[in-house]
C-alpha cells in the first residue's frame, strides 16, 4: 500500500476543477451514489476497482474510506502512486468541485477521466441508460496566489456544504471534516500539504466569515 504523497514543490500547483453532468442529471442526490463516487475517487487515484464488486461491499468500503480506515485489497487494485493530491472536494447534486494538485505530468486529467468513466459505467448500468454522463471537457483553473486558493477552499469546504446542510460539518460528502476538523479520510491529502499550500485548518472561523460571495472562478 502506498503512503500519503509527500510534498513535491515542482508539481504542487493547486487547481480548481469542476465536473458537471449532462442535462443536469442529479447523480449525487442519493447517498448510495455518493458513496459509490467516493469509492471511485479512491480507486481512480491509485489504480482501478477490483473485479466482481458487490454494491453493499462498495457502500461499506466508501464509509470506511471516509472514516480513515483501510479497505479490503480485493476491492481496489493499487497500481501506482496517487495521481493527484485531493486538497478539497464536495458533491452537489449534479456536479462536483475539487481542489487538486498533480503528482505527475497530466495527473489531473488522468484522474478525472478515470473517475468519470468508472462512475458513468456504474451509474449507466444501475439506471439502464447509455452514453456520456459528464460534460466534456471538464473545467479546470490553476489558482494564482494565496487569495484565490483560500477563496476556493472556502467555497468548496464551507459555502457549498452549507447549501446542502444547515449544520456546518453535517454533510459528509465534502472535505470540510478533513480540512477543518479531525476526520482523516483515505481520499484527501495529508494536512501537511494543506498547510504548505497556505490553507490554515485551525482558522475555520475566518473562512466562515468569507462565505457570502459567488463562485470566485465562475466554474458553475
Here the CATH number for the domain that contains residue 184 is 3.30.70.1290
Residue keyed to cell 449544520: 167
Indicate whether 149 belongs to any domain.
yes
Indicate whether 218 belongs to any domain.
no
Question: What pLDDT, on the 0 to 100 scale, is given for residue 216?
Answer: 53
Q: How many angstroms separate the CA atoms of 133 and 120, rounded? A: 6
Question: What pLDDT, on the 0 to 100 scale, is given for residue 3?
Answer: 41
Indicate whether 59 belongs to any domain.
yes
Whole-model pTM: value is 0.90
Indicate whether 216 belongs to any domain.
no
Instruction: Provide the 3-class DSSP secondary structure of residue 9.
Output: coil
Backbone angles phi, psi at 44, to 5 degrees: -65, -35
Short-list 67, 217, 44, 73, CA closest to 139 = 217
Question: What pLDDT, on the 0 to 100 scale, is given for residue 220?
Answer: 52
Indicate whether 7 belongs to any domain.
no
Question: What pLDDT, on the 0 to 100 scale, is given for residue 166?
Answer: 86
Indicate whether 5 belongs to any domain.
no
Grid coordinates belonging to 138: 471538464
Q: Give me the count of residues in the chain.
A: 220
Question: What pLDDT, on the 0 to 100 scale, is given for residue 131?
Answer: 94
Indicate whether 2 belongs to any domain.
no
Domain span including residue 39:
15-208
Domain count, the chain: 1
For the chain (220 residues), the mean pLDDT of every run of 10, in chain order, is 47 89 97 97 94 80 97 90 96 97 95 97 95 95 90 91 89 96 95 90 76 54
Q: How many angstroms separate the CA atoms of 13 and 211, rounded? A: 24
Amino acid at each position: 500500500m502506498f503512503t500519503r504523497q509527500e510534498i513535491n514543490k515542482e508539481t504542487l500547483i493547486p487547481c480548481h476543477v469542476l465536473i458537471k453532468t449532462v442535462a443536469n442529471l442529479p447523480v449525487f442526490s442519493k447517498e448510495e451514489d455518493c458513496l459509490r463516487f467516493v469509492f471511485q475517487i479512491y480507486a481512480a487515484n491509485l489504480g482501478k476497482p477490483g473485479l466482481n464488486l458487490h454494491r453493499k461491499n462498495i457502500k461499506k468500503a466508501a464509509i470506511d474510506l471516509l472514516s480513515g480506515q483501510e479497505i479490503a485489497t480485493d476491492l481496489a487494485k493499487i497500481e501506482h502512486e496517487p495521481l493527484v493530491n485531493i486538497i478539497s472536494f464536495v458533491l452537489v447534486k449534479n456536479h462536483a468541485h475539487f481542489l487538486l494538485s498533480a503528482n505527475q505530468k497530466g495527473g489531473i486529467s488522468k484522474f478525472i477521466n478515470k473517475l468519470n468513466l468508472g462512475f458513468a459505467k456504474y451509474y449507466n448500468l444501475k439506471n439502464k441508460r447509455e452514453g456520456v454522463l459528464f460534460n466534456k471537457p471538464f473545467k479546470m483553473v490553476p489558482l494564482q496566489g494565496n487569495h484565490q486558493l483560500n477563496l476556493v477552499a472556502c467555497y468548496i469546504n464551507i459555502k457549498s456544504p452549507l447549501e446542502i446542510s444547515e449544520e456546518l460539518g453535517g454533510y459528509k460528502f465534502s472535505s470540510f471534516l478533513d480540512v477543518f476538523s479531525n476526520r482523516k479520510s483515505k481520499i484527501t491529502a495529508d494536512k501537511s500539504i494543506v498547510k504548505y499550500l497556505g490553507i490554515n485548518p485551525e482558522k475555520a472561523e475566518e473562512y466562515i466569515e468569507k462565505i457570502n460571495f459567488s463562485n470566485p472562478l465562475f466554474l458553475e
